[in-house]
Every structure is written in structure tokens, then in C-alpha cells.
Amino acid sequence: MAESTLPQRLKPEEAPEAAAESAPAAGEAAPAAPSKSALKKAAKQKAKAEKAAQRAAQEQAKQAAAQAEDTAVGLYGKLPDNQDLVPATSFAQLSTDHYDKEVTVVARVDNARSQSAKLAFLMLRQKGQKIQAVIAAQEPISRQMVKWTSGLNVNSIVEVTGVVKKPAVPINSATLSDLELHIRKIYLISEAAQQLPMQVKDAERPPPAADTEEVDAEGQPIVTLKTRLDYRVLDLQTETNQAITWISSGVAELFTEFMLKSGARWIFTPKLSGSSSEGGSEVFEVKYFKRLAYLTQSPQLYKQMCIAGDMESVFELGPVFRAEDSNTHRHLTEFTGLDFERTFRHHYHEVLDFAEELLVFILTQLKERYKEQIAVIQKTFPKAGDFRLPKDGKALRLKYMDAIGLLKEAGVDVSEQERFENDLTTAMERQLGQIIREKYDTDFYVLDKFPMAVRPFYTKADPEDPRFSNSYDFFMRGEEIMSGAQRINDVNELEASMIAKGVDPKSEGFQDYLLAFRQGCPPHAGGGLGLNRIVTFFLGLPNIRLATLFPRDPQRLRP
């Protein structure tokens, strides 16, 4: 409620001081007698004040009388402190089984509408789901209670007790369209401001492709992605975003579940480092007391050091920082990395098989365990439910050169890629995704044996053809979601590879890393996945920011 704006009356302890301030001090001349016009003005002011006081008293009396007549006192208003804790029912639990039963729910006011002095409707929203509530003046429910209810600010949080009824006609604007709540009690738990910077209902439509405000066919505003991200807390309340954030949670859950079941150990590596972890310039510098430190670009070196520390199989979920000035639909400057590293006995394909099973598990289980959320997202983003998985449950694995062949067949100029001068471009990856979808009926596939020239120094070269490497990338809908490889575990080979790639093995930052290999390290391989990308491409979202709680990119550091 707005605080009273009436002037405060003078507190008794303040009065003498105030009087002293207006009295003439000793030795000062007495003030001249007030003029006629001043006296007239003072009398006028006095009369005005008396009238105002009279009006206030009348209003107060009217209110007291109304309250005396109000048969609903105690059934509405601010949530009383001594309220008994009635178990609340969630919207997800509500069904037609609740017809004629009384329930208590805690929800936000999505919309409040007065029909008449005796009838009002509320749309209640809980985690994106909506139910209509109705309040009618019929004893003990009073007109005052109806008026108070219809005046609630949108987005306020309320506790409502009511009887669930079947509405005369299904309420299409509600998620629970077969139910209607007939209000008996309603209390305000937390009040929303009268003016919000954005309405949650306006964020329920997909953002326009261009970042300019637009209106839909009904003239309703469609808020841009920028506005939605600026007011992300409101934006997160839409049914679609509630579901998307559950998919992110699901990816983390399934990755962790698979890893722990396989016997892998959960590790927590530092994100502050004294050197840039993989060389290159894409690293954020931070002030670290009297020197500089760097935010890690991946847990790569630490994962390998854990393998050298006899941990056999490790994984981590954590923030990854990239100082890349890439303003694209799939790049962030901070994202959530899912990393793993494990030893193998004879061939790095032991680890590649494991990684493929991991992804097939995550994607299949997402479809199964998060069916409801996917169906919700599909209403806004139609591709959300159509991610194609390999029918036989085994990932499609092609060699890099096979992919080049497919692109060439489709008439794409891949001359630079054939000369191993450049990696596949984003456009090529996307086209390849399309070709593979048509040819193999899958949106998930793996490319193995990338050219050595396009991979980092710690990658093991292919012993049969050193132009290539024992490295792989995973793709979803033609976009990269994972990079991985067998890593060099022989210290001399590692130093030579560093030199060949222009990385100085003598530099201070690599001493601890190289020491790990000098004392012997088993053969191992691993990979790094981007959680935000998995969610984006699984759901077919147009932009990674839609799958990121509070995105960080070259333009955005808030909220």
C-alpha cells in the first residue's frame, strides 16, 4: 500500500524547540502588528484547515461504518501474522478430482478484472500455469472484499482459499481451463508495484527477429529480446521460460547421473589462474592483489592434472569464461561447461564410445522425463519437440573427411578445409546438419579425426596419418556442442607439440602442467560440452540467450 502522504503532526517533544525558534530573542525588536490582509489570509487558512479536518473525520466515520457493515472482515486483506499454516496445493496437483473441494493456493495475480460492484475475476499464475478465480458478493463475502480483490496490483502474490468448480465454459486463457476457483478467503503476501516495466503476458509470445518493438496481429506489444533480458526476473515467470529453465536443470541432472553411475568423480577446479590456460588472447584478466590473474577458459589443464593424480575418471559442471567479441546466436562470454576426462587402455575410441552413450542418454531421457516441459515450449518454439535421435540408439559417427565429401557433393566450396587451412565454418556446419538430417534422419552426430592444424597443442596426432588428429566434435542440428580428443600424455611429445603450435613450454604458466606429465600419466581422452548450447539446439531455440538464466555477452553484464 502507498504510504500516507498527509503531513505528520508535530511530535510533543519537538514542540517547545519549534516554539523557541519562532519567539523573538532577548534584545530583539518585537515584531510589527500583522497587517489586515495577513490577518484575513490567516483566517482563511484556518477555515480551510478546519474544513479539511471535518472532511477527514467524515471519511473516517464512513470507513468505520463500512467496516462495521463488512461481513468479510478477516477473510481478506494483508496476510495476518498469526495465520494458521494451511497446506497449500500446487497448480500442478490440481485436477478435476478437486471439483467442489476447498483448496488453498499461493500464486501471483496475473490479471484482476472487476465485472460489477458484486463480481470480479482474477487470473492466478503459479510457475507459468494459470487458473481463473472468481469472487462474488454473497454473505459472508462483501462488496468491500470484491472491490479490494479487483484492485490488487498485477503480479502481487496472494494466498487464496476457495472451492474448485467446473466453469460453465472452458476458460481458454487459463492453463487449467476446466477449473475455476471460487474465492472464500484472499490475503496479500507480497504486493507488486502498480507500474511494472514489462508485463509477463507480453513476454509470453516469442521475441521478434529484429530488436525493434513490434505489435502482434491483435495489436498487443511483442517485447524484444533485449527488453526481456533487461527485466529477466519478470521474463522468467512465463510458462515457456519456466519450462526452458527446467530443461537446463535436466541436462545438468542427466549429465551428473550418467557420470556418477559410470564411477566418475565430481571435481571442482579453480576458475582463477595465474596464467591463461590454453594460450591465446580470449582470456579475461582480473586484478589479483598486486598482480594479474585470469579467468579460466576451460578446466582442460586441471582435468588432465587430476588424471595424472590417479583419479581415472573425472567430471565437472562449472562456469567457463571466453573473452571473445563474438556477437552471435551461440556465443556467450560466460557459459556453463560440462567437462569430463577419463583414462583408456588401448584406444581413444573407448572414451569416444562413452561420450556418445552419454549424449544419447541425455537426449533420450530429456525427451522422456521432460515431456510436459517440451510440450509447453513447443507452443512458442515449434521445433522444441522435433529433435531427431538415431533410431538404433547409437550415435552416427563420420570422419571429418567424410563430412567434407558430403559438403562437396552438395556443391559447397571446401577447398580451404581440404587443405587443412581452416576449420568448418558455421555456415558449413549448418548445411552439413541439414544434409545429415535428410540422409541419416538424425539431428545428433559426431565427426572424428579433425585435421591437426585446427586443434589445440595438447591434442594427440593420428599415429597413422599425422595430418589428422585423434579428436572429435559433437553436433546438434548442425551446431557444435562438444569438442574432445585424446590428449598427449608423453611429456616430450607434449613439449614438441607446444613448440609446433607456438606455445612456449618454458613459460611459467605451464610448469605445473608439464610436471604432471613428467612423473608419468596414463593415456586419456575427454571432452568439453556447453550446457547452454545443448539446451538451445535440443529445443531449436533461435538464440542461446533464451537458454541462459542471466546471459553474459560482449554487450551485457546485467542483470
Residues within the interface to ligand ATP (CB under 6 A): 322, 324, 331-332, 335, 480-483, 528-530, 532-533
For residue 190 the three cell numbers come to 507480497
Measured distance CA(542)–CA(431) in Å, rounded: 16
Give Cα 170 distance to the centre of its chain. Answer: 32
For residue 399 the three cell numbers come to 570422419
For residue 293 the three cell numbers come to 590473474
Shortest reach from residue 530's CB to ligand ATP, in Å? 3
Between 190 and 326, CB nearer to ligand ATP:
326
Measured distance CA(555)–CA(331) in Å, rounded: 12
Shortest reach from residue 329's CB to ligand ATP, in Å? 10
Between 246 and 335, CB nearer to ligand ATP:
335
How far is CA 501 from each of CA 54, 291, 458, 537, rounded to the nearest angstrom?
89, 27, 10, 32
Measured distance CA(512)–CA(403) in Å, rounded: 38
For residue 54 the three cell numbers come to 471535518
Shortest reach from residue 306's CB to ligand ATP, in Å? 18
Shortest reach from residue 281's CB to ligand ATP, in Å? 13
Catalytic-labelled residue, pool 205, 331, 349, 430: 331
Catalytic-labelled residue, pool 108, 232, 322, 342: 322
Bridge-based pairing of strands 396-399 and 444-448 is: parallel
Between 324 and 350, CB nearer to ligand ATP:
324
Catalytic-labelled residue, pool 125, 228, 232, 330: 330
Shortest reach from residue 443's CB to ligand ATP, in Å? 15
Is 483 among the residues known to form the active site?
yes
Between 322 and 477, CB nearer to ligand ATP:
322
Instruction: Find all residues with CB under 8 Å of 491, minimum gap 6, and list them.
Output: 514, 517, 518
Give Cα 198 distance to the centre of its chain. Answer: 17
Catalytic-labelled residue, pool 324, 350, 357, 418: 324
Between 76 and 457, CB nearer to ligand ATP:
457
Catalytic-labelled residue, pool 480, 487, 495, 497: 480
For residue 187 the three cell numbers come to 490475503
Asked whether the beta carbons of 239 and 204 are under 8 A apart, the reply is yes
Asked whether the beta carbons of 477 and 537 are under 8 A apart, the reply is yes
Q: Assign residue 279 a region (left: φ > 0; alpha: ψ between -120 and 50; beta: otherwise).
A: left
Between 91 and 335, CB nearer to ligand ATP:
335
Between 91 and 354, CB nearer to ligand ATP:
354
Measured distance CA(32)–CA(379) in Å, rounded: 80
Is 487 among the residues known to form the active site?
no
Between 308 and 476, CB nearer to ligand ATP:
476
Specify the DSSP element, H or E, that contains 523.
Answer: none
Asked whether the beta carbons of 523 and 219 are under 8 A apart, the reply is no
Instruction: Find all residues with CB under 8 Å of 553, minimum gap 6, and list them.
Output: 327, 331, 332, 333, 545
For residue 272 the three cell numbers come to 582463477
Specify the DSSP element, H or E, that contains 249.
Answer: helix 239-261
Catalytic-labelled residue, pool 150, 277, 483, 497: 483
Measured distance CA(421)–CA(404) in Å, rounded: 13
Shortest reach from residue 236's CB to ligand ATP, in Å? 20
Going by the DSSP 8-state scheme, the letter that residue 24 receives in this structure is P
Measured distance CA(476)–CA(430) in Å, rounded: 9
Asked whether the beta carbons of 521 and 308 are under 8 A apart, the reply is yes
Is 357 among the residues known to form the active site?
no
Q: Assign residue 540 a region (left: φ > 0; alpha: ψ between -120 and 50; beta: otherwise).
A: left
Residue number with the smallest Cβ distance to ligand ATP:
530
Between 133 and 481, CB nearer to ligand ATP:
481
Is 324 among the residues known to form the active site?
yes
Shortest reach from residue 257's CB to ligand ATP, in Å? 20
Is 55 among the residues known to form the active site?
no
Give Cα 286 distance to the centre of its chain. Answer: 26
Shortest reach from residue 311's CB to ligand ATP, in Å? 21
Shortest reach from residue 480's CB to ligand ATP, in Å? 4
Q: Which among 272, 326, 267, 335 is positioned nearest to 526, based on CA atoms? A: 267
Q: Which among 364, 360, 382, 385 is positioned nearest to 374, based on CA atoms? A: 385
Q: How many CA atoms lie within 13 A of 535 on its CB side?
A: 31
Shortest reach from residue 88's CB to ligand ATP, in Å? 38
Between 108 and 322, CB nearer to ligand ATP:
322
Give Cα 113 distance to the centre of its chain. Answer: 30
Residues that are catalytic: 322, 324, 330-331, 480, 483, 533
